Amino acid sequence: MQARSVSPPASCSVPDQAAALAEIARILKPVGQLRFLEHVRNPRTARRRVQRTLDASGIWPWFGGGCHCSRDTLTAIKNAGFATGHVDTLTSADTGVLFRTAPQILGAATRA
């Protein structure tokens, strides 16, 4: 990790995503960047419903090491006081992952 960048291990897996992002914002140097690659809530209603069901049941967090695949991570990053530039959305077709319920976002953010 560079002195001017922070990469969270996986903000989908931390118990309190808002608190973790607030701490990153607090310790990040003014010229630093938060770089992220996170799987996020699916924009499609049916798949989003599957994600919420898997999260609420505890099955996916148990299977995925605490991962909550239905989080709206990009909104959480912005709510923590970060400004995002270009953010790519990757699908299973881009990543080769067979499990198609969780798209990923890839980007960087700076303190607003």
Mean pLDDT for the chain overall: 84
> 2-29: per-residue pLDDT in tens?
555 666 557 888 999 999 999 988 988 8
E-assigned strand segments in 1-112: 5-6, 33-39, 82-90, 104-111
The pLDDT of residue 76: 95
Which domains are present in the chain?
Answer: 5-111 (3.40.50.150)
φ, ψ for residue 15, nearest 5 deg: -60, -40
Q: From residue 6, how far is each of 2, 36, 39, 76, 93 by CA, in Å? A: 7, 9, 18, 16, 28
Residue 1 has pLDDT above 50, yes or no: no
Give the C-alpha separation, 78 to 8, whole Å. 15
Residue 53 has pLDDT above 70, yes or no: yes
